[in-house]
């Protein structure tokens, strides 16, 4: 079942746009700059398998150094919540 979820996530991420990032951020009360949104989208598209199945510690550190601290704090919290939900499927 996990393989199916990974496939579906991959297909969704391939189609993701900056508008999706802004919409998700707004839905979660996060103001995000275009620069931060581009960085998050880029990492999501390039490394989604690492984020859902691997150890993304180094990736998270890179992101933390590139985006605003408040954006990172909320994005990290949302990532952890999503990963927990994914792992409990």
Give the residue extent of every domain in the chain: 2-87
Q: Regarding predicted confidence, which is higher, 88 or 57?
A: 57
The pLDDT of residue 85 is above 70: yes
Q: Regarding predicted confidence, which is higher, 8 or 89?
A: 8
pTM reported for the whole predicted model = 0.89
Of 39, 56, 49, 53, nearest to 14 by C-alpha is 49
| Tokens standing for residue 2 | 């996990």
Q: Please report which confidence band the pLDDT of residue 12 belongs to, taking 50, 70 and 90 as the band edges.
A: very high
Residue 82 confidence (pLDDT): 87
């Amino acid at each position: 079942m996990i393989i199916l979820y990974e496939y579906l996530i991959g297909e969704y991420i391939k189609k993701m746009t900056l508008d999706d990032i802004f919409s998700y951020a707004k839905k979660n009360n996060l103001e995000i700059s275009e620069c931060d949104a581009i960085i998050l989208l880029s990492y999501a598209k390039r490394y989604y398998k690492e984020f859902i199945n691997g150890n993304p510690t180094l990736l998270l550190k890179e992101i933390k150094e590139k985006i605003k601290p408040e954006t990172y704090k909320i994005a990290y919290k949302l990532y952890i919540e999503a990963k927990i939900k994914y792992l409990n499927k």
